[in-house]
Amino acid sequence: MLRTIGMIGGSLALYQAMEVLGHAKETQFAGPPKLSGAPAGASVLVLGAGLAGMLAAFELRKAGYKVQILEYNNRPGGRNWSLYGGDTYTELGGETQKVGFAPGNYLNPGPWRIPYHHRTLLHYCKAFGVALEPFIQLNHQALVHNSKAFGGKPMPYRDLSADFEGNVAELLGKAIDNRGLDSQFSAEDQDKLKEALRTWGLLDKDMRYVKGNRSSRRRGFERPSGGGVDGSPIPSDPLPFKDVLDSGVWAVISQHMSIDHQTTMFQPVGGMGMIGKAFGKQVEGLVTFNAKVTKISQAGGAVTATYTDTATGAVKEAKADYCVCTIPLGILSQIELDASGGMLAAIAAVPYSNSVKVGLEMKTRFWEEENAIYGGISFTDRPISMISYPSGGMHSDGPGVILGAYTFGAASYKFAGMSPDERVRTVLEMGSVFHPGRYKEQFTAGASVAWSRVPYTLGCCAQWNEETREEHYQTLVAVDDRIVLAGEHASYIGCWMEGALLSSLDAVTRLHKRALEA
């Protein structure tokens, strides 16, 4: 039933139906927590100045707690981060990159887009003055490349999606005529479904998906409409359905239908790191940077964190009544932690995925000038996975930064094993399939981040499965004596900033209750 609804009504109708049936939900944000009346003199130590840690500190200070934050990096934001021209970044292993992008250009190594229903993040972006602009997720003019289809030639998503949907509509129409749906639909409902398929699939009066003005209005004309003597358009030929299937476009269509990737999506003006900077301003004076935590104790009715000042090598301690720990689990599992056996087992049970992003600055925005591609993502079966065109600064002269690779799985570890220069060379070679003769020639500067080599994370984000959630999740998020964990790993919205923020709000609410009860 859901497949039929999605096919007839599109992704919005499908999601609404799934929500009614309890299969999909938006995030659980009901507004900022109403915390007040902190016990006199009570203090909280926050470990990590990522978004979860800074939001925890912000809300706890409002409630009356004395708050201190320890942060490994020399900046706020954690995985919320942008690399700009002039920045330097050293990954695990010692490779250092100096970013050569032009002023205003950037690479977002971590988060890069915000779904419209991530209300917690959107709320605090507005509250903290972060300017947002649309992020173009779906662009019908972007390209889909599969080495096994169309002789390896990239094809416009618009053409492939139109031909896929048109052919599927025709096949379903035939199933109705062959009485294949008699057991599920009445004759009247079958007539309604056929009319829906004719409209959705742009079929002709005989329920066929064929060359003509109807199909070309979606897939584009061979000769576009114009003015004057030769103004009439010429219809285009649909692609062979076998080749359309071989292209794997159905996987791309499915990705855009996901609730996390539906219109409208946002990005901060000037880079995702603007969010981390804005959060950082709210907790100015509370953060001790360059603080590498090496031990966490709960002895003596307090929480004591031992840390090394990475700038001087000095070993110091920070102490408070309670602790909100947002350190990623892959790092936390290597720190001496005074916690229950169940908590320690939960921390050790959750692995982290890896991903690699590579940014390529080009002299001009040739993809706009020559291909009319304004934002959006082109997909490939090559290890780079996709390229994303910048959603900001569109229709300007350039230069602009393309996200030249966003790799996962085995490919991400292969790229992580390369030097930064080798990653850029490989990505330029693989990405040239989309824009031959322009990609390498227009390239000016590159930067890359392999998350398995990021010292303060050692991975991209937590990867729960059903078994580990059932066994460990509730233990992980419980208040363990005087410590509570927060971050995307302590949520059901893993790998998203929204999950980190919702986890933080839940953690501080329960910690505040614990403090009042004490």
Where does 157-240 sit in CATH, by number? 1.20.1440.240
Q: What's the pTM?
A: 0.92
Rounded Cα distance between 518 and 513, Å, is: 9
Helix and strand numbers, DSSP H then E, in the chain: 18, 23
Average pLDDT, the chain: 93
State how far the alpha carbon of 18 is from the alpha carbons of 13, 47, 356, 499, in Å.
Answer: 9, 38, 33, 21
* Angle formed by the axes of helices 51-63 and 497-517, nearest 10°: 30
Q: Is the dihedral of CA 64, 69, 75, 80 positive or negative?
A: negative
Instruction: Give, as one character, the DSSP assignment of residue 470.
Output: I
Q: Please report the pLDDT score of residue 3 as a whole number.
A: 55
Task: Convert the pLDDT of each residue in 194-225 to its tens digit.
Answer: 999 999 999 999 999 999 999 999 999 999 99
Q: Kindly state the tokens that stand for 131.
A: 């300017």
Where does 43-73+274-350+462-517 sit in CATH, by number? 3.50.50.60
Quick count: other Cβ atoms within 10 Å of Cβ 183?
6
Task: Convert the pLDDT of each residue in 329-338 to its tens digit.
Answer: 999 999 999 9
Instruction: Give, as one character, the DSSP assignment of residue 262.
Output: P
Strands (E), 16-136: 43-47, 66-70, 83-84, 88-90, 96-98, 106-107, 114-115, 132-135
517 has a pLDDT exceeding 90: yes
Q: Please report the pLDDT score of residue 4 as a whole number.
A: 56
Q: Kindly state the tokens that stand for 154.
A: 């990239």
Rounded Cα distance between 80 and 75, Å, is: 11
Strand pairing report for 132-135 and 114-115: unpaired
Rounded Cα distance between 306 and 296, Å, is: 6
Q: Kindly state the tokens that stand for 231.
A: 């103004």
Q: What DSSP assignment string belongs to 109-175?
A: SS---EETT-HHHHHHHHHTT--EEEE----TTSEEE-TTSGGG--EEHHHHHHHHHHHHHHHHHHH
User: Where do the structural domains in the chain lie, given as residue ranges?
Assistant: 1-30, 43-73+274-350+462-517, 83-141+264-271+353-453, 157-240
More confident position, 121 or 5: 121
Q: Please report the pLDDT score of residue 183 as a whole number.
A: 72
Select the CATH number that applies to the domain covering 83-141+264-271+353-453 from these four: 3.90.1150.10, 3.20.110.20, 3.90.660.10, 3.40.50.150.
3.90.660.10
Task: Convert the pLDDT of each residue in 64-116 to its tens digit.
Answer: 999 999 999 999 999 999 999 999 999 999 999 999 999 999 999 999 999 99
Cis check: omega of the bond before 399, within 30 degrees of 0: yes
Q: Please report the pLDDT score of residue 246 as a whole number.
A: 94
Q: Please report the pLDDT score of residue 229 as a whole number.
A: 95
Phi, psi of 368 (to 5 degrees): -80, -50
Rounded Cα distance between 401 and 418, Å, is: 21
13 has a pLDDT exceeding 60: no
Query: How sure is the predictor about 30, in pLDDT bands with cuts at 50, 70 and 90?
Result: confident
Identify the CA nearest to 143 among candidates 364, 439, 446, 361.
439
Quick count: other Cβ atoms within 10 Å of Cβ 164?
21
- Give the SS3 label for residue 376: strand
Rounded Cα distance between 504 and 499, Å, is: 8
Task: Convert the pLDDT of each residue in 285-320 to its tens digit.
Answer: 999 999 999 999 999 999 999 999 999 999 999 999
Task: Tell me the average pLDDT across 11-25.
Answer: 43
